[in-house]
Amino acid sequence: MIKITITAPTRKLLDMFCRLATAYRDARAVTRIHAIRLLAEGHSVPEVASLLSVAEQSVRNWVQEFLLKGAESLLSLRPPGRPGRLSKSQKQELLRLLKEGPLASGYHSACWDSVMIADLAWRKFQVRYHPHHICRLLAHLGWSYQKARFLSDHLDPSTRDRWLQETWPQIIQRAREEKATILFGDECGFAQWGSLFYTWAPKGEQPCVPTTGIRKRHKLFGAFHPFTGQLFTQGVSGKFTSESYIEFLRYLLDRVGGRIILIQDGAPYHTAKLVKEFLAQQQGRLSVYQLPAYSPDFNPIEQVWKKVKKDATHLRYFPLFADLVASVQDTVTRLEQTPAALLSLVKRYCPALLPA
């Protein structure tokens, strides 16, 4: 049985080390210090190991180090595991090169993969990494393997910021004063030939989805309330036109009581002369605001359309156009009955639109 007696100066030193280890979140050092304290209080090695959920041999090793080297041996002088191959400054330089993109480093592709990054580490720092370890290294540095997205070169950041910081708060304030309903409007087409998406499948067996190849779409106008989750949709036969858009606006006026503030993008049939004339006749009930150009991320109904496609058309086969229409309409009807689920999409993808 191991018995330890700790002098008052050593006890004070252990207390100081414990505070330091706690401040630096060194859980291993805190555990070792507690082990020595418990042994000094008369607990046996098995009891200490059980209380701290560690192996008995670990407790004996800590005691041996403590007796030979003193209290300093209880602190973690270096992180566990094999030392990193790249220094801290080299890792930062590697991240800088990765942010510049593969083309800037002389590669032909614009997409980084683990093999290219391993080659870059060897070329720049003469450090060899297996491609699999590159993935772990980048994950440790806060990077992940992601799908890129398009960003229009026509974007005007100042206009977008001004709309979000000035126009949007004005819309909310106006809606409160006039007791108006805020709706984000848009339209979407759903292809009969279906749509592909990620899914789980056995390795080496890529999922295959039959398709008719018929180039036909079911089209919907939609409007979404970002604070209540209400969704209003209307099917369209033929193309999206100013006439069909006016019919949808009439549909909204019939379904929604009181004043409506509609936020829309700059599609030609949204701003056509015929539509402007109709809006002029509805000034008492319907007001329209334009989104900044190339800003679909400011329109929460875009996330609703993605949800509809995921549930209604992804990896689905529609031999008949009526099958497509039924699937889309069934999904829309279900979503209209679950506003809380739609609101979660706004919270996740458009948090800047939520009221303070």
* 52 DSSP β-pair partners: none
CATH number of 157-353: 3.30.420.10
Confidence of residue 242 (pLDDT cuts 50, 70, 90): very high
* Exposure b/e, 218-248, CB count within 10 A at least 16 = b: bbbbbbbbbeebbbbbbebeeebebebbbeb
Distance between CA atoms of residues 51 and 61, nearest Å: 17
Residue 48 clears pLDDT 70, i.e. is over it: yes
Over residues 119-172, the pLDDT tens digits come to 999 999 999 898 889 998 999 998 988 877 666 666 678 898 999 999 999 999
pLDDT at 152: 65
pLDDT > 90 in the chain, percent = 48
Distance between CA atoms of residues 287 and 283, nearest Å: 6
Q: How many residues does the chain have?
A: 356
Over residues 214-232, the pLDDT tens digits come to 889 999 999 999 999 999 9
Compare 189 and 71 and report the one with higher pLDDT: 189
Domain ranges of the chain: 8-74, 88-140, 157-353
Q: Is the pTM of this model over 0.95?
A: no
> What is the rounded average pLDDT for all residues in the chain?
86
